[in-house]
Structure 1
Amino acid sequence: MTDLEPTVVDSHCHVWQRWPYEPPVPDPLDRAVAAQLIYEMDAHGVSAATIVSANIGGNDDNNAYVAEAVADHPGRLFQLADFDSHWSSTYHVAGAARRLSDLCDQLEPVGITHYLQREDDGWFTSDEGASVFEVATERGLLVSLAASWRWYRSLLSVSDRFPAVPIVLHHLGGLRPHELDYPEQLEALRQLAARPNLFVKVSGWRYASSSPHEYPYPDVIDTLRFLYESFGTRLCWGSNYPVERPFTTYQQTMNLLRRHADFITDADRSLILGGTMAQLLARYGTNE
């Protein structure tokens, strides 16, 4: 295996004008800006990145800020616009299809990000949920979902009904191996793995670990093995930059795959580190 794969694409990262998290940092107006992400990408041979917009922590204008960054870096940055996430006043209320169409007209993202509450409220199988995926089909959008495993049984019906929509699950599919219901989590995600339009981001390892500072997260390796055996190359590496900075460097997020997952073949590792997402962007990316 070479140190640098031909194409490396970061499937999950963020940029904000203001650092959104507690505790405070000494450089809140600089730590998460787009220029910092581009610096990390250049330093580590990353060709492109899909930015997960999140209108949080005083960044209600994050969609607009990410759109500006994408315009400044065509072909390198792609937007997954925050749409009706659980912190918004429009979360799962009527009119979702019109709001999504308006958002697409305004920003022209390659896809949307939708952060769900922990418990399944039936939205996927509702008319409102279906209307969002109808627009996603018409517009050729990727759908990036932050969801607990409790949503995955109802997500089966959406993936079957809208097979043309690539659905990409955040952070190891939301698996938490240290939780008591881990066997149920595995079974729910195993069922989704049979759907060819379902993908999982290999990102946010520390969320799955019982010791988030213990890189390289030995308690999560078996979870990655399960995902690889279930999804194959429908896995996509993501740095979760800059949120991971207190836990891992940008380079280390790649090395989790390059150096600590020897059960993945070199050819498959290349796809997971960028080839799979590059193929999705080639098909759905419209902002070049």
Structure 2
Amino acid sequence: MIVDAHTHVWPRWPYDPPVPDDTSRGSYHNLLHAMDSVGVDRALLINARITRSDDNNEYGAEAVTAYPDRFVHVVDLDGRWAPAYHIPGAADRLRVLVDRFRPAGVSRYLAPENDGWLRSTEGRAVFEVAAQEGLFVNFACAPSWQEDLREVAREFPTVTILVNHLAGVTLWGGGVEEALAMTLSAEELPNLLVKVSGFAYGTDRPWEYPNRQALDVVRALHDSWGSHRLVWGSDWPSVTAHLSYRQSLEIVREHAPFIDPAVLPLVLGGNLERILTQEAKA
């Protein structure tokens, strides 16, 4: 089974420049077509209430209702662009989302600057709700948050933490080496995983295939964290500005020889499927 750890769906296109197919470019129907075209079985829908997307949690729920065996709902909670970002009461707002949508996970887009929120009473309260409700927690964050992520992973070992797009290493302003120094760790934290996704980010040649700089980061994460803590993600439809959906898959399947072929199926879906099965039983 191949499971895509990072996709978005929107009822209207949220990016500039505008597109002629505004109401279908990012639709879940188009995502399903892309998945079918390359044999992807399931996908996490990472809701993100960005521009023109205040109703993204509702649209994600609609997609899961229409195709419950293909899509997994991950609700957006107080992303860094939201008025409620790091305003007290996040745990209560999460309970409202859980009661309304019954998602599998919750996603938070954190600002690049680490303000200590993860280690705060507010941050820990969100993890307590996740533990009680059997949710995984998905973060978009810079490497500056990694030490704190390790701390909460230790404190909440039953909560799976997924980190977007190579843990933000290729986007770090201080360079890849500095970012890896903050991110790599020999500590075994099986509940802290990173998405092998976002290959086009942080390069002046995002269309280049395969992106060797990004693959070098994947190798470093693989060697440090282990293949059991890697999950593949396409970043559809954002990825399609530079790579096709198939290329987002084949860059890992065909161009990462450092991943043992025997464990490659785990990176492409097995690791994530195990998490989803555990969460369903919780």
Partner of 1:41: 35
Instruction: For residue 194 of structure 1, report the CA deviation from its aligned partner.
Output: 2.9
Counterpart amino acid of 2:241?
Answer: P
Instruction: Report matched runs for 1:170-181 at 5 Å.
Output: 170-176=164-170, 179-181=173-175
1:118 maps to 2:112: yes
Separation in 2 of the partners of 1:211 and 1:192? Answer: 32
CA contact (8 A) 2:186 2:224 kept: no
Considering only aligned residues, what root-mean-square deviation do their CA atoms show, in Å? Answer: 1.5
Of the three residues 139, 148, 157, the one matched with 1:154 is 148
Residue identity (%)? 41
Separation in 2 of the partners of 1:170 and 1:135? Answer: 21
Of the three residues 102, 126, 133, the one matched with 1:132 is 126
Instruction: For residue 57 of structure 1, report the CA deviation from its aligned partner.
Output: 1.6
Q: What residue ranges of structure 1 are gaps of 5+ in the alignment?
A: 1-6
CA contact (8 A) 1:78 1:285 kept: no
Instruction: For residue 234 of structure 1, report the CA deviation from its aligned partner.
Output: 1.1
CA contact (8 A) 1:48 1:75 kept: yes
SS of match in other structure, 2:231: strand
1:219 maps to 2:213: yes
Of the three residues 6, 9, 21, the one matched with 1:15 is 9
Counterpart amino acid of 2:78?
Answer: D
Instruction: Give the alignment's TM-score, normalised by structure 2.
Output: 0.95
Instruction: For residue 220 of structure 1, report the CA deviation from its aligned partner.
Output: 1.9
Task: Show structure 1 runs of 4+ deviating over 4 A.
Answer: none
Q: From the superposition, tell whether residues 193 and 179 of structure 1 become closer, same or farther in structure 2 (CA, over 3 Å).
A: farther
Partner of 1:144: 138
Q: Deviations over 1:145-182 (max 9, x none)?
A: 00001111222221111111100000011112885443
Partner of 1:168: 162
Partner of 1:4: none
Separation in 2 of the partners of 1:278 and 1:11? Answer: 10
Partner of 1:269: 264
Partner of 1:65: 59
Of the three residues 217, 232, 241, the one matched with 1:237 is 232
Q: From the superposition, tell whether residues 178 and 282 of structure 1 become closer, same or farther in structure 2 (CA, over 3 Å).
A: closer
Separation in 1 of the partners of 2:167 and 2:204? Answer: 16
Instruction: Give the alignment's TM-score, normalised by structure 1.
Output: 0.94
Instruction: For residue 89 of structure 1, report the CA deviation from its aligned partner.
Output: 1.1
Q: From the superposition, tell whether residues 188 and 62 of structure 1 become closer, same or farther in structure 2 (CA, over 3 Å).
A: same
Instruction: For residue 192 of structure 1, report the CA deviation from its aligned partner.
Output: 7.7
SS of match in other structure, 1:214: coil
Partner of 1:260: 255
SS of match in other structure, 1:267: coil
SS of match in other structure, 2:242: coil
Counterpart amino acid of 1:219?
Answer: Q
Partner of 2:97: 103
Instruction: For residue 262 of structure 1, report the CA deviation from its aligned partner.
Output: 1.1
